[in-house]
Amino acid sequence: MIKNNRLSEAEYKVNFSDIHPPYTNVNAALVDANRCLFCYDAPCTKSCPTSIDVPKFIKQITTANIKGSAHTIFSSNILGAGCSKVCPVEKLCEGSCVYNLLDEAPIPIAQLQRYSTEKAIAGNWQLFTRKPSTGKKVAIVGAGPAGLSCAFNLSKEGVDVTIYEKESKAGGLMTYGIAAYKVTPEFCEDEVNYILSIGGIDIKYNMALGTDITIAELQAQYDAVYLAFGVGLARQLSVPGENLTGVVDAISFIYELRSKGFSSVPVGDKVAVIGLGMTAIDAATQAKRLGAKEVTIVYRRTQDEMPCTQVELDIAMLDGCKLSWLAAPKEVLGADGKATHLVCTKMKLGEPDASGRRSPVETDETFTLEVDMVIKAAGQMPFEALVNGSSLNNKSGKVSVEDKSVTSINGVFAGGDCVNGGREVVDAVQAGKDGAKAVLSFIATNATNEH
Ligand code: SF4
């Protein structure tokens, strides 16, 4: 049966507490920081999409220069605190740490990054000074990681920024789309407020592109426009029974969990989650932590092809989620309008596709899972109708750009998930930096031409 309020407040608190607890004392941080070899050719920095100078910020921790350390991190990544909690570091900085070659534990870069940046946010350390206003105005659509990163980097240079955000809070995916045991809504609010504390950034909430504003209107009012509206539409399964009660999409499920509170979100006894990306893992583990008795993740390939990392998979398995490999949803069966069973087709792996990844092929065999809830996490789709309603060049709804952020409309730039279709938060932060650079160059060129 699908119901909410399955657990006590104390149980919710335990289940959704921080999965990677911070350092509890300075000595532990110092011990870890002092293990760093401060590699000259730091592979950890090279593998960070925002190129954070890892050995430098760690060295600053060893000399008790925490402000300097936070400054080093934020100079490259203003969402460095959030990224320290949500980045798949095992395939980025920590995965590249030279200690892996020695078969020793890598430096806990994320935990050290969190150590410095959380102190900066808690103390509201003002580490950057905004240049005097240039009088130039830029509109940004979307207050997610790409939009905030772009806004910060523009404001630092004296540009007056207005962000149009369709939700009632800023942070985008960080605020609405990630498991609560990785980042709490309260942390996201603090991080956004910290970014905005540089000044010169105004956010207009509940303003959606295409509904409340258009690109043409923004162009008329601002010197440039940066689009960072992300992705968000859940991919449909396109199987019979998809409209039965109990079949929900993972994005809405996680959104509800983060915006309404744990006890308000209904969850089934027997839950099937379709997909094995980060969102699928977040949905499965959170369903379990909300009190679901049985959670089965259904994935159409094998562990070798899974899109999530091993660390993510381990979280789900430690939470007791089951895996059904080489299986794809065929039909949701129901009674009285409610989902009762999920029929799956057994798959096998076929030939590799162009990327070298082996594609799943249907077999004649099926099996059936008893369910009362099915969570669809088979990927997100770009806002195709929104993009097609403008004159932006795009590929199946993904905004096409040149030189990292220049769109087909003069003076309109874009970056983040609305361009790449959905990658990591840290990629969006870098896209925002690239966007700010392109916008500043455009503004400067236009100013020169006006003279
Ligand atoms: Fe330090 Fe590892 Fe980076 Fe080398 S690779 S600088 S040891 S964190």
Q: What's the gap in Å between 37 CA and the centre of ligand 1?
A: 6
H runs (alpha helix) in 201-241: 215-221
Residues 252 and 349 in one domain: yes
Q: What's the gap in Å between 42 CA and the centre of ligand 1?
A: 6
Residues 318 and 239 in one domain: yes
Write out the two tokens for 209.
């592109």
- Are residues 71 and 61 in contact, defined by beta-carbon separation less than 8 angstroms? no
Annotate 171-205 with three-state secondary structure: CCHHHHCCCCCCCCHHHHHHHHHHHHCCCCEEEEC
- Are residues 405 and 369 in contact, defined by beta-carbon separation less than 8 angstroms? no
Q: What's the gap in Å between 141 CA and the centre of ligand 1?
A: 37
Beta strands in 8-125 (DSSP E): none
Within-domain flag for 1: no
The number of residues in the chain equals 451
User: pLDDT at position 451, please?
Assistant: 60
User: pLDDT at position 267, please?
Assistant: 97
Q: What's the gap in Å between 96 CA and the centre of ligand 1?
A: 8
Ligand 1 atom with the shortest distance to the CA of 98: 5
How much is the pTM? 0.92
Domain boundary among 336, 363, 379: 379
Spell out the per-residue pLDDT of the chain, length 451, in tens. Answer: 899 999 999 999 999 988 888 998 889 999 999 999 999 999 999 999 999 999 999 999 999 999 999 999 999 999 999 999 999 999 999 999 999 999 999 999 999 999 999 999 999 999 999 999 999 999 999 999 999 999 999 999 999 999 999 999 999 989 988 988 899 888 999 999 999 999 999 999 999 999 999 999 999 999 999 999 999 778 899 999 999 999 999 988 998 998 888 999 999 999 999 999 999 999 999 999 999 999 999 999 999 999 999 999 999 999 999 999 999 999 999 999 999 999 999 999 988 888 788 889 999 999 999 999 999 998 888 888 888 888 899 998 999 999 999 999 999 999 999 999 989 999 999 999 999 999 999 999 887 766 6
C-alpha–C-alpha distance, residues 430 and 150, integer Å: 9
User: pLDDT at position 180, please?
Assistant: 86
Beta strands in 377-441 (DSSP E): 380-381, 394-395, 398-399, 412-414
21 Cβ contact list (under 8 Å, min separation 6): none
C-alpha–C-alpha distance, residues 31 and 34, integer Å: 5
Residues 393 and 375 in one domain: no
Mutational pocket test of ligand 1: of 38, 73, 103, 111, the residue with most ligand atoms within 8 Å of the beta carbon? 38
Residues 244 and 330 in one domain: yes
Beta strands in 308-416 (DSSP E): 322-324, 327-335, 338-352, 358-370, 373-376, 380-381, 394-395, 398-399, 412-414
Residues 340 and 397 in one domain: no
Mutational pocket test of ligand 1: of 38, 98, 103, 104, the residue with most ligand atoms within 8 Å of the beta carbon? 98
Q: What's the gap in Å between 437 CA and the centre of ligand 1?
A: 29
C-alpha–C-alpha distance, residues 253 and 382, integer Å: 19
Residues 152 and 274 in one domain: no
Within-domain flag for 38: yes
Residues 245 and 330 in one domain: yes
Within-domain flag for 132: no
Mutational pocket test of ligand 1: of 38, 39, 47, 69, the residue with most ligand atoms within 8 Å of the beta carbon? 39
Nearest CA to ligand 1 atom 5: 97
Residues 301 and 358 in one domain: yes
Nearest CA to ligand 1 atom 4: 39
Within-domain flag for 31: yes
Nearest CA to ligand 1 atom 3: 44
Residues 249 and 375 in one domain: yes
Residues 155 and 250 in one domain: no
What residue type is assigned to position 359 of the chain?
A: S
- Are residues 281 and 316 in contact, defined by beta-carbon separation less than 8 angstroms? yes
Within-domain flag for 10: no
C-alpha distances in Å from residue 234, one per residue of 11, 126, 267? 30, 39, 19
Q: What's the gap in Å between 308 CA and the centre of ligand 1?
A: 24
Cα 36 versus chain centre, distance: 28
Beta bridge partners of 209: 213
Nearest partner of 175 among 164, 195, 194, 189, judged by Cα: 189
Ligand 1 atom with the shortest distance to the CA of 107: 8
Ligand 1 atom with the shortest distance to the CA of 44: 3
C-alpha–C-alpha distance, residues 276 and 198, integer Å: 38
Domain boundary among 64, 99, 122: 122
Domain boundary among 353, 379, 405: 379
C-alpha–C-alpha distance, residues 104 and 94, integer Å: 12
Within-domain flag for 386: yes
For the chain, the domain total comes to 3
C-alpha–C-alpha distance, residues 434 and 429, integer Å: 9
Nearest CA to ligand 1 atom 1: 36
For residue 178, give the CATH number of its domain.
3.50.50.60
- Phi then psi for residue 404, to 5 deg, are 75, -30
Within-domain flag for 2: no
Q: Which domain holds residue 64?
A: 20-122
Nearest CA to ligand 1 atom 2: 97
Ligand 1 neighbours (beta carbon < 6 A): 36-39, 42-44, 54-55, 97-99, 107, 109
User: pLDDT at position 357, please?
Assistant: 80
Q: What's the gap in Å between 113 CA and the centre of ligand 1?
A: 13
For residue 35, give the CATH number of its domain.
1.10.1060.10
C-alpha–C-alpha distance, residues 140 and 133, integer Å: 17
Within-domain flag for 4: no
Residues 220 and 84 in one domain: no
Mutational pocket test of ligand 1: of 34, 97, 104, the residue with most ligand atoms within 8 Å of the beta carbon? 97
Residues 88 and 31 in one domain: yes
